[in-house]
Structure 1
Amino acid sequence: MKKLIFSSITIILFSLSVFAQDIAPYIKVGETTNSMQQTSEAVINALQNNSFTILGKYNPENKNNLQVIVFTSTDLKNTVVKVSDRGALGAAFKVGLVEKDGKITISYTNPDYFLRAYMQNNYVTFKSVFQKFSADVKTALATLGNEFKPFGGTIAANKIKKYHYKIMMPYFTDPVELNEYSSFEEGLKIIENNLKNHKSNTVLVYKVIYPKEKVAVFGIGLQSKEDGESYFLPKIGEENIAAMPYEIILQGKTVTMLHGKYRLALSWPELSMGTFMKIMSTPGDIEDTLEAVCK
Structure 2
Amino acid sequence: MKKLAFLILSLICIQTAIAQNTKLAPFFKIGTSDESISALSTTIKSNLESNGFKIIGEYNPEANPNLGVVCFTRKDLQKLCLKSADRGALASVLKIGLVKKDGKTSISILNPDYMFCAYLSNYETEKNAYSKITADLKMALESYGKDYEPFGGEVKTDALKKYHYKMMMPYFDDPVELNEFNSFEEGLLIIRKNLEAKKGNTELIYEQVFTDQKIAVFGIGLLDKEDGEKDFLPIIGEDHIAAMPYEIILQGKEASILHGKYRFALYWPELTMGTFMKIMSTPGDVEDFMEALTE
**Normalization by structure 2: what TM-score?**
0.95
Report what 2:107 is aligned to.
Answer: 106
2: CA distance, partners of 1:233 / 1:47: 27
1: CA distance, partners of 2:152 / 2:235: 15
Shift of 1:70: 0.1
Shift of 1:82: 1.8
Report what 1:52 is aligned to.
Answer: 53
2: CA distance, partners of 1:59 / 1:20: 36
Report what 2:229 is aligned to.
Answer: 229
More deviation, 158-167/78-87: 78-87
Shift of 1:13: 4.4
More deviation, 143-152/263-272: 143-152
Cα separation, partners in 2 of 1:10 and 1:47, compared to 1, 3 Å: same
1: CA distance, partners of 2:29 / 2:62: 21
Shift of 1:12: 5.0
Cα separation, partners in 2 of 1:46 and 1:216, compared to 1, 3 Å: same
Runs of 4 or more consecutive aligned structure 1 residues displaced over 2 Å after TM superposition = 4-19
Report what 1:284 is aligned to.
Answer: 284
Shift of 1:17: 2.7
SS in 2 for 1:212: coil
The letter of the residue matching 2:176 is V
Cα separation, partners in 2 of 1:253 and 1:6, compared to 1, 3 Å: closer
Shift of 1:6: 9.3
The letter of the residue matching 1:227 is D
Instruction: Please tell me whether the aligned partners of residues 178 and 256 of structure 2 are also in contact (alpha carbons under 8 angstroms).
Output: yes
Structure 1 stretches lacking a partner, 5+ long: none
Instruction: Please tell me whether the aligned partners of residues 82 and 89 of structure 2 are also in contact (alpha carbons under 8 angstroms).
Output: yes
Shift of 1:18: 3.2
Report what 2:176 is aligned to.
Answer: 176
Could you report, residue by residue, the CA deviation over 1:36-93 in whole angstroms, capped at 9, with x for unpaired residues?
Answer: 2211111111101101000100000000000000001110012211211101001101
2: CA distance, partners of 1:7 / 1:142: 38
Identity %: 53
1: CA distance, partners of 2:189 / 2:7: 63
The count of corresponding residues between Structure 1 and Structure 2 is 294
Report what 2:131 is aligned to.
Answer: 131
Please say if 1:31 is aligned against 2:39. Answer: no
Report what 2:162 is aligned to.
Answer: 162
Report what 1:248 is aligned to.
Answer: 248
Could you report, residue by residue, the CA deviation over 1:202-250 in whole angstroms, capped at 9, with x for unpaired residues?
Answer: 0000011000100000000000010000000000000001010000100
Instruction: Please tell me whether the aligned partners of residues 46 and 143 of structure 1 are also in contact (alpha carbons under 8 angstroms).
Output: no
1: CA distance, partners of 2:83 / 2:10: 38
More deviation, 30-39/86-95: 30-39
Cα separation, partners in 2 of 1:40 and 1:228, compared to 1, 3 Å: same
1: CA distance, partners of 2:192 / 2:210: 14
Shift of 1:16: 2.3
2: CA distance, partners of 1:130 / 1:14: 19
1: CA distance, partners of 2:249 / 2:20: 31
More deviation, 84-93/124-133: 124-133
2: CA distance, partners of 1:100 / 1:51: 31
Shift of 1:125: 2.5
Report what 1:185 is aligned to.
Answer: 185
Report what 1:261 is aligned to.
Answer: 261
2: CA distance, partners of 1:278 / 1:9: 48
Structure 2 stretches lacking a partner, 5+ long: none
Shift of 1:129: 1.7
